[in-house]
Each structure stands twice: as C-alpha cells, then as structure tokens.
Amino acid sequence: MLIRVESRKSKVERKKKNNKKQEVRRKTSQNLASYFLLLIINFYTLNSQAQCAMCRASLESTGNVSQAEAVNDGIIYLMIIPYVLVGLIAFAVYRMYRKKN
C-alpha cells in the first residue's frame, strides 16, 4: 500500500516536470520565432532618399551623384545606431530579468 502511494506521487511529479519542459519548449520556440521575425524586419532594406532639405539642395547644385549617395549612406548609418543601442539595452534588461527568474 505504501509503495503505491509513493509511485503515485512520483507519477504526479513526473507529469509536473513534463509539463514544465513542454512549457519551456513552447516559450523557446515562440522566442526563436520572434527573434527570427525581428531579424528579418531589421535586415529588410528599402531604397530611401534620407536627406534633409539643406543637404539635398547642396548636393543637387553640385551634380555629383556619388557624393549624394555617400551622404545618403551616412545618414542611414547615423539613423541605425540609436536603434542598435536601444536593442542592446533591451537585451541586457531581458538577460537580467531571466537571471532573476
């Protein structure tokens, strides 16, 4: 009789462990899908004309196309840096949160 009670407890404990494992797997797959989608969105590029009015007027007057493209690339580069920094900070906060749990 005593042996059956212990085996029932162990079965319940095993079920709880399996449920926790399944939940971790589900969360992991959701996180991976979210990260993959985020990467796709971040690396998807469009041709854009990212110039302020002063830069555009100055570059159109010179007629140098390669210089205009270089200024566009520089503006986009400067625009990306704050997003990368915010992403790194968010990742650090996420890691600290995960360590607590």
> Cα separation of 21 and 14, whole Å?
10
pLDDT band at 87 (very low <50, low <70, confident <90, very high): very high
Domain count, the chain: 2
Residues 71, 93 within the same domain: yes
Q: Give per-residue pLDDT as tens, 27-76.
A: 787 888 888 888 888 777 666 555 677 777 777 777 777 887 788 788 88
Q: Are residues 92 and 67 in the same domain?
A: yes
Tokens representing residue 98 in the block: 């995960």
More confident residue, 81 or 68: 81
> Do 56 and 81 fall within a single domain?
yes
Residue 90 lies in a domain: yes
Structure tokens at 53: 């009015």
Q: Is residue 2 a part of any domain in this protein?
A: no
53 part of a folded domain: yes
pLDDT score recorded for residue 91: 94
Do 50 and 86 lie in one domain? The reply is yes
Domain co-membership, 64 together with 22? no
SS3 49: coil
Q: What is the pLDDT of residues 2-18, one digit of tens each?
A: 455 556 667 777 777 77
Residues 50, 82 within the same domain? yes
Same domain, 38 and 81: no
pTM over 0.85: no
Residue 24 lies in a domain: yes
Judge contact between 72 and 50, C-beta under 8 A. yes
Kindly state the tokens that stand for 54. Answer: 């002063």
